């Protein structure tokens, strides 16, 4: 018998340190006005030095478990989506598993690297694992510590102002119902965008040594920092692909935009989401945002929206949610979830 998957519970954590746009103005040669007008961002959270991605992810998981909807022992698989892992390897999922005290249970931990689309990709994997009966309760984490790896000189301003730190967790479980839960997921990738979109080389395995760093020559240490060579192209692709894949999942389920209660788009730029919603014909009051508070938290944006807006009662069980993302790679995807 086919199994169905649903989002059982959620949790989140954002670091306490709030960094408003004005604090970035002088070092980056930018302004609050530019950042708000071009991106919608007012402030973001930064993790303290010494705090790793797995540390904030652990706090998000503990927040989720504190809601009492699932016991840690029931979780039988972990999918960790991030572009800012603790280490090059091993994966941050394993580091987190140990920090949570779960290592003795030896549950499998997948690290996935689909940037801003990481949560949608993770949701699709979890759906497939549950529907095939492979696992019963899958923990998906979207977590990022961007702030430790950004370029705080004017050279980096176009990227640095956009990103913030945060973590969110959800559990996907087996459902009895075939009419609720994760109705459909769709994901795409186009590797032509690999070095045209946002990317961080940091190391290049084709070189020896694989990392170039010269403290006496800071101007040439550009590979230490994320780059965004074609931001306008990225912007246009994001609007087009998010609208396209959202329409595709609706068509696959014989649903229309009128059926959607809430759109939860990835939070890269408030203008991207406004335009994508306009293309789709989704009214602005149905589109959820948290970019103004957190900036772009990459794999964490959608589960953060889910936890905040389900937590304050805006999203209710039974609501039809459209999740949609576009990110570096290029990667993109969408999901329809009867919450």
- The per-residue DSSP string of 59-114 comes to HHHHHHHTTTSS-GGG--EEEEE-SS-SSSSS-HHHHHHHHTT-GGG---EEEE--
Burial 158-185 (b: 16+ CB within 10 A, else e): bbbbbbbbbbbbbbbbbbeeeebbbbbb
Among 158, 247, 253, 320, binds ligand ACO (CB under 6 A): 158
**Catalytic annotation on 109?**
no
Count, residues near ligand ACO per rule CB under 6 A: 21
Could you say which residues in the range 55-114 bind ligand ACO, by CB under 6 A? Answer: none
**Catalytic annotation on 266?**
yes
C-alpha to C-alpha distance for 300 and 119, rounded to whole angstroms: 7
Question: By C-beta, is 130 or 238 nearer to ligand ACO?
Answer: 238
**Catalytic annotation on 77?**
no
- Segment interacting with ligand ACO (CB under 6 A) among 3-11, 100-108, 213-221, 229-237: 229-237
Q: Which residue in 116, 137, 146, 269 is the catalytic one?
A: 116
Asked if 339 and 195 count as a contact pair (C-beta separation under 8 A), the reply is no
C-alpha to C-alpha distance for 183 and 5, rounded to whole angstroms: 8
Q: Could you say whether residue 26 binds ligand ACO (CB under 6 A)?
A: no
Q: Which residue in 109, 137, 266, 273 is the catalytic one?
A: 266
C-alpha to C-alpha distance for 269 and 36, rounded to whole angstroms: 10
Among 15, 181, 327, 333, binds ligand ACO (CB under 6 A): 327
Q: Could you say whether residue 234 binds ligand ACO (CB under 6 A)?
A: yes
Question: By C-beta, is 97 or 114 nearer to ligand ACO?
Answer: 114
C-alpha to C-alpha distance for 200 and 193, rounded to whole angstroms: 13
What letter would DSSP give residue 23?
H
Contact characters 27-56, ligand ACO, x per CB under 6 A = ---x---x---xx-----------------
Catalytic residue IDs: 116, 266, 296
């Amino acid at each position: 018998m086919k199994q169905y998957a649903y989002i059982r519970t959620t949790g989140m954590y954002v670091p306490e340190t709030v960094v408003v746009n004005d604090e970035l103005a002088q070092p980056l040669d930018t302004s609050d006005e530019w950042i708000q007008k071009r991106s919608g961002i007012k402030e973001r959270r930064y993790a303290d030095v010494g705090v790793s991605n797995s540390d904030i992810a652990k706090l998000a998981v503990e927040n989720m478990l504190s809601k009492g909807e699932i016991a840690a022992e029931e979780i039988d698989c972990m999918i960790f989506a991030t572009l800012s892992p603790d280490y090059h390897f091993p994966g941050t999922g394993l580091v987190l598993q140990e920090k949570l005290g779960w290592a003795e249970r030896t549950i499998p931990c997948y690290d996935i690297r689909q940037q801003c689309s990481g949560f949608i990709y993770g949701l699709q994997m979890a759906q497939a694992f549950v529907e095939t009966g492979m696992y019963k309760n899958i923990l998906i984490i979207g977590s990022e510590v961007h702030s430790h790896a950004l370029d705080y000189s004017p050279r980096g301003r176009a990227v640095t102002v956009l990103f913030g730190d945060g973590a969110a967790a959800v559990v996907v479980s087996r459902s009895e119902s075939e009419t609720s839960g994760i109705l459909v997921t769709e994901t795409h990738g186009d590797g032509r965008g690999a070095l045209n979109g946002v990317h961080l080389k940091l190391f290049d395995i084709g070189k020896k040594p694989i990392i170039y760093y010269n403290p006496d020559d800071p101007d040439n240490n550009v590979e230490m920092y994320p780059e965004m060579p074609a931001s306008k192209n990225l912007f246009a692709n994001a609007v087009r692909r998010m609208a396209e894949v959202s329409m595709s999942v609706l068509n696959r389920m014989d649903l229309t935009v009128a059926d959607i209660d809430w759109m939860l788009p990835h939070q890269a730029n408030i203008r991207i989401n406004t335009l994508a919603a306009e293309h789709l014909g989704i009214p602005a009051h149905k589109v959820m945002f948290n970019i103004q508070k957190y900036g772009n938290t990459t794999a964490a944006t959608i589960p953060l929206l889910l936890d905040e807006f389900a937590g304050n009662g805006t999203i209710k069980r039974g609501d039809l949610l459209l999740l949609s993302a576009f990110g570096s790679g290029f990667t993109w995807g969408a999901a329809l979830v009867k919450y």
